[in-house]
Chains A and B, each alone.
Chain A
Amino acid sequence: MLLYALRRLIYLVPVAFGVSLLVFALVHLAPGDPISAIVPPDAPKEVVDKLKEYYGFDKPLPVQYFRWLAVTLTGDLGTSIGTGRPVATEVASAFGNTIILAISATLLAFSLAIILGTAAAYAKSRIVDRLVTLISLVGVSVPHFWLAIVLVIIFAVELGALPPMGIGPENSTGWRLDRAHLAHMVLPTIALSVIPLGVVTRTVRSTIKETLSMEFVTALQAKGMSDGQILRHVLKNAAPTCLAVMGLQAGNLIGGSILIETVFAWPGTGFLLNSAIFRRDLPILQGTTLVLAFFFMMLNLTVDVIQTMVDPRIKRN
């Protein structure tokens, strides 16, 4: 098991190398050179050249890349052009806020999805099954940023029941466990959970349905086992497939919360990324993308390893 995890980790090295190349390329995809983003257009040429030399932009691209990689590997993600603070600090504080939102959305989506999916698979009446299928269809089809706006309209504008934006009262930038902060979390959590809810419900329903048609279920029934006990066996058999999809959805939640964070002005990585794009703050753009991609890779690796642990039938080569 440990060996397998280690092998997967080693395999990640070339992928991580490719990721770093792509993230590095982001800056050079930008129109104009990276310096023109921070100096006024009428700056004298000597100043621009000086700055280029200072940031190392006068060197050939491969040299720039390896320099950047060497610095990045030490944990130094550069300095934000907008605020002048280290990128690592900015990303770290935003990342915490994103994770909190992602965790609450994941919990909501997955628990609902497991209940709904199982209910639909077991349902004798077609209405229940149809209803759950409809919910999952809406989940995968609804533009979640639009749903976020609709939620704000209903619960904040019309009913005035919940705060429309921000992470907490007044200018709170960090999350705390109190009533006001929790109230601010409700709408973003719901908006963020619709996609994973749709996808996971679909998966749970079809996997459990498939498991229920397996012979061992009939055998257990013939033995006289109670439905509750059989359910345990069924869930255990359906778990690996569902886990894989859930892991992927959890990862996408963190990368995909950008739109939701923008609607709710939630000070997470997505909000940071969005404001960096409009300030042309390329170091922040680069740093945030790199950290999120790294996290996503690690999450995928963890899910993969857990999956192999849960289901010994999966033999990886």
Chain B
Amino acid sequence: MTIQTPSLELGTPLVQPIAVAAGRGYWQSVGRRLRRDPVTLICAAVLILLVLSALAAPWLGLADPYKTSMIRRLYPLGSPGHLLGTDELGRDMLARLIYGGRLSLFMGVTPVACALLIGGLLGITAGFLGGRVNMLIMRIMDVFYAFPSVLLAISLSGAMGAGAENTLLALTLVFIPPVCRVSESVTTQVRGFDFVDAARASGAATFTIVRVHVLGNVLGPILVYATSLISVAIILAAGLSFLGLGVKPPEPEWGLMLNTLRQAIYVNPVLAALPGVMIFITSICFNLMSDGLRAAMDVKA
């Protein structure tokens, strides 16, 4: 059965558990395959560079990303002292783009991580226990599936009001159901395998079965699926900020910068498009990484 998510960009992959318990040998071969994949390596390098420069921004000798100047507004790219120009309030664009990575990346990765934890836990519980517990959990998820994901995110954060915390909460709620559904379906499949029956027959405790046999087999596919959500999350988080629902000014954040620079499209169009380029690069790298990871971990897409 194909599982479908209501996510922004992705038809959900059909996830199949790896039929062998994932031992050290498995992870070693995954690592080896990843190291031989140039696309994945380049994407990983770009992402690491983005993260490191965002984290180390204060020590990079950049201009103050909050310092406005009424005289130096909307300088074009390549201006002396402002390599990427200045924004509508005269703030240095290079500094703001690099500092912007802090919030933009954080707002994209955190909801997926939280959803991975909560949705994964719920899905594995539903899949392993089956029966009524499964019914209850999955029917609740169905309610969230009745909303297009963008609508759900916007309505929730719109009702709760602007702010980074509310955006994080709304996005986490949006990503829990798809993660839960994938986890549930993988767990249900794994539970049907003979080695689970064998373990039970040999007297293994439920906790041991879950820890060794279930987790060992389902974590891979769930993780691969979750990484494919990060790019959606980054775009969605930036989109919410773009609408004025996420991060509040004057914080540097790519979505918000796109919004405030919109008034400048007639004066300096290239400048106005820059923050979107950052979002695009990040999201494309996460997508390619996720594809590479899927291939390396041999999860059927």
A interface list, Cβ under 8 A from B: 14-16, 18-19, 21-22, 26-27, 29-31, 137-147, 149-150, 152-153, 157-158, 195, 198-199, 202-203, 206, 241, 244-245, 248-249, 251-252, 254-256, 258-259, 262, 273-274, 276-278, 282, 285, 289, 292-293, 296-297, 300
With a cutoff of 8 Å between Cβ atoms, the chain B residues found around residue A262 in the complex are 242-243
A248 vs B234: C-alpha distance when bound (angstroms): 21
Given the known inter-chain contacts A153-B272, A157-B266, please indicate yes or no for A285 contacting B155, CB distance below 8 A. yes
Contact B4 A245 (CB under 8 A): yes
A-B contact pairs, 17 of them (CB 8 A): A19-B146, A22-B147, A29-B156, A141-B9, A142-B280, A144-B235, A149-B258, A149-B276, A153-B265, A199-B11, A251-B6, A251-B148, A256-B8, A256-B149, A273-B154, A289-B151, A296-B151
Q: For the complex, is B223 an interface residue (Cβ under 8 Å from A)?
A: no
Task: Write out the residue numbers on chain B whose beta carbons fall within 8 Å of the beta carbon of A137.
Answer: 284, 287-288
CB of B149 within 8 A of CB of A282, answer no
Are the C-beta atoms of B9 and A198 separated by less than 8 Å? yes
CB of A252 within 8 A of CB of B6, answer: yes
Please tell me if B273 contacts chain A, counting CB pairs below 8 Å.
yes
How far does the Cβ of A116 sit from chain B's closest Cβ, in whole Å? 16
- Among B150, B159, B231, max chain A CB count under 10 A is at B159
Contact present for B243 and A258 (CB under 8 Å)? yes
Residues A289 and B155 in contact, CB atoms below 8 Å apart = yes
Task: Please give, as numbers and ranges, the residues of chain A lying within 8 Å of B150 by CB-CB distance.
Answer: 252, 255-256, 258-259
- 19 other contacts beyond A143-B235, A149-B273, A277-B158, with CB at 8 A cut-off? A141-B280, A142-B284, A143-B279, A145-B239, A149-B265, A149-B272, A153-B272, A157-B269, A244-B2, A244-B4, A248-B11, A249-B11, A252-B8, A255-B148, A256-B8, A273-B158, A277-B245, A289-B147, A293-B146
Contact across chains for A296 and B146 when beta carbons are under 8 A apart: yes
Query: Which residues from A are CB-within-8-Å of B60?
Result: none
Q: Kindly state the separation between the CA atoms of A40 and B151 in the bound complex, as whole angstroms.
A: 30
Contact of B159 with A27 in the complex, beta carbons under 8 Å: yes
Q: How far is the CA of A190 from the CA of B149 in the complex (A)?
A: 21
B158: A residues at CB distance < 8 A = 273, 276-277, 285
Partner of A203 from the list B11, B156, B239, B258 (CB cut-off 8 Å) is B11
* Residues of the A chain whose Cβ atoms lie less than 8 Å from the Cβ of B11: 199, 202-203, 245, 248-249
| Contact residues in B for A252 (Cβ distance below 8 Å) | 6, 8, 148-150
B6 pairs with A248, CB closer than 8 A = yes
By the criterion CB–CB under 8 Å, are B151 and A258 in contact? yes
Q: Which B residues are CB-close (under 8 A) to A19? A: 143, 146-147
**Closest CB in chain B relative to A278 CB, distance in Å:** 7
| Interface contact A152-B146, CB-CB below 8 Å | no
Q: B residues 245-301 with Cβ under 8 Å of A?
A: 245, 258, 262, 265-266, 269, 272-273, 275-276, 279-280, 283-284, 287-288, 301
Within 8 A of A (CB), among B27-48: none
B residues near A140, Cβ cutoff 8 Å: 9-10, 231, 287
Task: Map CB proximity to A onto B130-150 as digits: 1 under 8 Å, 0 otherwise.
Answer: 000000000110111011111
Among candidates A146, A244, A248, A258, residue contacting B280 with C-beta atoms closer than 8 Å: A146
**Interchain CB contact under 8 A, A285 and B9:** no
Bound-state CA distance A292–B273 (Å) is 31
Closest to A294 in B: B146
Which A residues touch B6, using CB under 8 A? 248, 251-252
In the complex, residue of chain B having the shortest beta-carbon distance to the beta carbon of A245: B11
A30 touching B155, Cβ below 8 Å:
no
Look across to chain B and name the residue whose beta carbon is closest to the beta carbon of A22: B143
Which residues from B are CB-within-8-Å of A30? 159-161
* Alpha-carbon gap, A158 to B159, bound state (A): 38
User: A26's contact among B10, B140, B155, B231, by CB below 8 Å, is which?
Assistant: B155
Please give, as numbers and ranges, the residues of chain B lying within 8 Å of A300 by CB-CB distance: 146
| Interface membership of B93, Cβ < 8 A | no
A15 and B258 form a contact (CB under 8 A): no
Cα(A144)–Cα(B276), bound, Å: 9
Of the residues B244, B269, B280, contact of A278 by C-beta under 8 Å: B244
Asked whether, in the complex, the Cβ of A241 is within 8 Å of the Cβ of B265, the reply is: no
Cβ of B50 under 8 Å from chain A: no
Contact of B276 among A146, A251, A256 (CB under 8 A): A146
Q: Enumerate the 6 nearest inter-chain pairs by beta-carbon distance, A residue then B residue, closest first.
A: A255-B148, A146-B276, A18-B143, A255-B151, A277-B158, A141-B284
Chain A residues whose CB sits within 8 angstroms of the CB of B139 once the complex forms: 14-15, 18
Residues in B neighbouring A22, C-beta threshold 8 A: 143-144, 147
With CB as the reference atom, state the residue of chain B lying closest to A255: B148
Q: Which residue of B lies closest to A196 (CB)?
A: B9
Contact with A along B1-28 (1 / 0, CB 8 A): 0101010111100000000000000000
Given A149-B272, A292-B151, are A143 and B239 also a contact pair (CB < 8 Å)? yes
Whether A199 contacts B146 by the Cβ 8 Å rule is no
A-chain residues with CB within 8 Å of residue B266 when the two chains form the complex: 157
Return chain B residues, CB-CB under 8 Å to A138: 284
